[in-house]
Chain A
Amino acid sequence: MKLHFYPGQHLLVLTEKNKVVGRYEAIGGPSQIGQDQRMPEEPTWPGSYLIHSTQRYITPTWQMSSLAWGTELQDKPSLNDVWYKLQSGKWGSLLKDFKISRDVIIFYNKRLYGKNAVPSQWIFNDFGPLAIRWFKDLNGNGKLDAKERLSGQMFHTTPDNEAEHYQGMEVKLYPSHGCIHMKPGDRDTILSRGGFKKGTPFVVHKYAERFNQERLENSAQ
């Protein structure tokens, strides 16, 4: 298995035994540095990488991503708050710990799922239920070690696209800050085919480069 991403075409290609076995819509960052003051958008950097892992991603950089996707929630309307389950089994306050109000949760849930209610699980992590991480294998030993680091760019879905997928609506991808946005259904397909298995080679092509199936299959042989 091998993955090829053509950012200029919003195209992700999966090959197996040097043959193209899947083509999927996927959108990376812009070709130039953007102007989002919170974190400027950046290109998905061209290069050759290895898939490292699939994980529920959390980061304090983005407020709604402070909590892992699927974290159990408890509505506390009399307190104007929503509680989340900690790993210890105790409950924490979303308002106190992350400054996320019950109003914002309900507002977001209504926009995504049409319900004026607090969901039973956290479904607003900006990186979706699963993020697929990669790294540049500088010493070529197939492992993340020495001075190698996981890329801050990764494959993931978004809460909007997860909601669209869940409700059977058309999934509309939008540009990222550098990660590769993909459709939930495509993520599941590639996962089931083993395309995100640890050690899978992954190439991000240049923005100007165009996919050519014949050339890709011949070059791989």
Chain B
Amino acid sequence: MLFTNMRNVSTKKGLKTVLSKKVTSLHILPLCILFSASLYAEETKLLDATQYVFENKHSTFQVGYKLKNGETITHVLRSDLGGQLTNDSVFEDSIFQITDFAGQTYAIQMDGESFMWTGQGWQVTDFDFDMLTKIISHDQNLVYCSATFPSKAMMNQGRCMGEGWETPQNVFWYDITPEICDNELWVVEPVGSANQLKQFDRFSGKLIKTRSIRFVKPELDVCTF
């Protein structure tokens, strides 16, 4: 399984911290310290803010944006471990997720359009996702969920789908991303002022159980409920 890691990073100091931790995990301290410093310096030129960093065994992808004429333009800075830095700005919306799947790296925009990293650049794929879609898991079968857009108008209800499922399951989630817990897909749904947890079989999509749970914070691990 590929080594993947994604953390929210909102400040330059935060980026430095994440990269420093990565250095320790890869046991290539000198090289990565140089790389980290280089990326940090470049960030000040190429991005006005970093949103998060995605790393796999080949590269580091730094997702952020640059302000230009009052508009926010999404950029992904890529750097392989040799330190080469590329700046890609083919995106029209913010990146909702970067992830590895079937040996390739994909970026999914908020509008659901997805791109595959070819090694040379980002290429639009044929995957037709709903807006606000995230790939939840891909290690056994592909499971992905789209979030409920927070407006009252049902712009996007929110649903999950997986390889092997007959139909998608309608679910409501916004800031608490569903997770795979012991071969089940767990989704926390707000119901009025309370919450409920729905557990689906990850292979069939069948609803196994629904139970009420106490108030939860977005940063908590869904599998702990």
A38, B172: Cβ atoms under 8 Å?
yes
A107, B151: Cβ atoms under 8 Å?
no
Whether A44 is near chain B, meaning CB under 8 Å from some CB there, is no
Known contacts: A37-B191, A79-B10. The answer to whether A63 contacts B150 by CB under 8 A is: yes
Whether A47 is near chain B, meaning CB under 8 Å from some CB there, is no
List B40-71 residues whose CB lies under 8 Å from chain A. Answer: 48-49, 51, 65, 67, 70-71
B150, A106: Cβ atoms under 8 Å?
no
Most chain-B Cβ atoms within 10 A of its Cβ — which of A64, A104, A126? A104
Residue of A nearest to B110 (CB): A107
A64, B10: Cβ atoms under 8 Å?
no
Q: Using a Cβ–Cβ cut-off of 8 Å, how many residues does chain A contribute to the interface with B?
A: 31
A62, B110: Cβ atoms under 8 Å?
no
Known contacts: A37-B172, A117-B70, A117-B71. The answer to whether A108 contacts B151 by CB under 8 A is: yes
Cα separation A158 to B151 with both chains bound (whole Å): 10
Whether B105 is near chain A, meaning CB under 8 Å from some CB there, is no
List B130-189 residues whose CB lies under 8 Å from chain A. Answer: 148-155, 172, 174-175, 189
Residues of A contacting B65 in the complex (Cβ-Cβ under 8 angstroms): 77
Residues of B contacting A116 in the complex (Cβ-Cβ under 8 angstroms): 71-73, 92-93
B49, A99: Cβ atoms under 8 Å?
no
Cα separation A106 to B185 with both chains bound (whole Å): 30
List B65-84 residues whose CB lies under 8 Å from chain A. Answer: 65, 67, 70-73
CB distance from B120 to the nearest CB of A (A): 25
Cα separation A115 to B94 with both chains bound (whole Å): 13
Residue of A nearest to B154 (CB): A36
What sequence of 0s and 1s flags, for each residue 106-132 of chain A, a beta carbon within 8 Å of any chain B beta carbon? 111011000111100000101000000
Whether B218 is near chain A, meaning CB under 8 Å from some CB there, is yes
Known contacts: A99-B175, A116-B71. The answer to whether A107 contacts B111 by CB under 8 A is: yes
Whether A177 is near chain B, meaning CB under 8 Å from some CB there, is yes
List B191-206 residues whose CB lies under 8 Å from chain A. Answer: 191
A64, B72: Cβ atoms under 8 Å?
no
Residue of A nearest to B94 (CB): A103
Cα separation A99 to B175 with both chains bound (whole Å): 8
B150, A80: Cβ atoms under 8 Å?
no
Most chain-B Cβ atoms within 10 A of its Cβ — which of A37, A100, A126, A177? A37
Residues of A contacting B155 in the complex (Cβ-Cβ under 8 angstroms): 111
Known contacts: A37-B189, A80-B10, A116-B72. The answer to whether A100 contacts B49 by CB under 8 A is: no
Residues of B contacting A174 in the complex (Cβ-Cβ under 8 angstroms): 153
B48, A77: Cβ atoms under 8 Å?
yes
Whether A137 is near chain B, meaning CB under 8 Å from some CB there, is no
Most chain-B Cβ atoms within 10 A of its Cβ — which of A63, A65, A160? A63
CB distance from B205 to the nearest CB of A (A): 18
Residue of B nearest to A110 (CB): B93
What sequence of 0s and 1s flags, for each residue 51-81 of chain A, a beta carbon within 8 Å of any chain B beta carbon? 0000000000011110000000000011110
Residue of B nearest to A181 (CB): B153
Cα separation A100 to B67 with both chains bound (whole Å): 20
Residues of B contacting A99 in the complex (Cβ-Cβ under 8 angstroms): 174-175, 218
Most chain-B Cβ atoms within 10 A of its Cβ — which of A62, A115, A116, A124? A116
A64, B49: Cβ atoms under 8 Å?
no
CB distance from B158 to the nearest CB of A (A): 10
Residues of A contacting B51 in the complex (Cβ-Cβ under 8 angstroms): 80, 103
10 contacts between A and B (CB under 8 A): A38-B148, A63-B174, A79-B49, A103-B51, A106-B94, A110-B93, A111-B155, A115-B71, A116-B93, A117-B71
Chain B interfacial positions (CB closer than 8 Å to A) = 10-11, 48-49, 51, 65, 67, 70-73, 92-94, 96, 110-111, 148-155, 172, 174-175, 189-191, 218
